[in-house]
Amino acid sequence: MIAIIDYGMGNLASVKNAFLKLGYKTFISSKPDDILSADRVVLPGVGAFGDAINSLQDTGLDRTIYRIVKESKPLLGVCLGLQLLFTESEENGVHKGLDIIQGRVIKFKLPSFYKVPHMGWNEVKPDPGSQLFKNILPGSYFYFVHSYYVVPEDNSFAAAVSDYGLDFICAVEKDNLFATQFHPEKSGSIGLEVLKNFAEI
């Protein structure tokens, strides 16, 4: 059973429908006990970092996420859900994140011919040992919508990189934590393969 955390800032239905299409039992919830009862958990996210972290703290769902990590339950962050796992973000001022992965979230500072936000399909180069990208060929394309990217203190957590004016880490794996900057639920059959890999970890 896969739980999708509802903290008011996620593209919940599309993530749920993607797992259902793959045949996995999935539910959306904002109730800690329900979320903790699941075998795997997804932290989605669309919107501003500060609003999202405030929502998690106001609802107490930040404590639920810490408990998931402590219990070594597989957790998948998607887009903003990836960024929230980090120490802090510079989006609209400095905001403290969950600090589960040490590092920062910074804005693209690129020549003017690069549009920000970075939006659309982009090539992803996975690490050969990545569990999320099992059976996915290097050079596959995934769908992105973001203005900020993560910079971990320890690059060994990088599961994949992409290039948009600079090389940036677009997926991480650390123990039971998995997260992507791109939207696998919006990335067609190749994105579904990533979700399938997570569901089978």
Radius of gyration of the chain measured on its C-alpha atoms: 15
Q: What is the mean pLDDT of the chain?
A: 95
200 is catalytic: no
DSSP symbols for 135-155? T--TTEEEEEEESEEEEES-G
Choose the catalytic residue: 91, 183, 193, 200. 183
pLDDT mean over 84-112: 95
183 is catalytic: yes
Instruction: Determine the pLDDT at residue 82.
Output: 97
CA separation for the pair 1, 23 (Å, rounded): 11
170 is catalytic: no
User: Domain limits of the chain?
Assistant: 2-199
Choose the catalytic residue: 88, 91, 173, 185. 185
Going by C-alpha positions, the residue among 197, 115, 114 that lies closest to residue 159 is 197
Residue-wise pLDDT tens digits, 4-54:
999 988 779 999 999 999 999 999 999 999 999 999 999 998 889 999 999
CATH superfamily of 2-199: Class I glutamine amidotransferase (GATase) domain (3.40.50.880)
Q: What percent of the chain stands above pLDDT 90?
A: 93
Instruction: Determine the pLDDT at residue 11.
Output: 79
- SS3 label, residue 104: strand
The tokens describing 21, both together, are 């299409």
- 163: part of which helix (H) or strand (E)? strand 158-163
The tokens describing 33, both together, are 């006990």
Q: Tell me the pTM.
A: 0.95
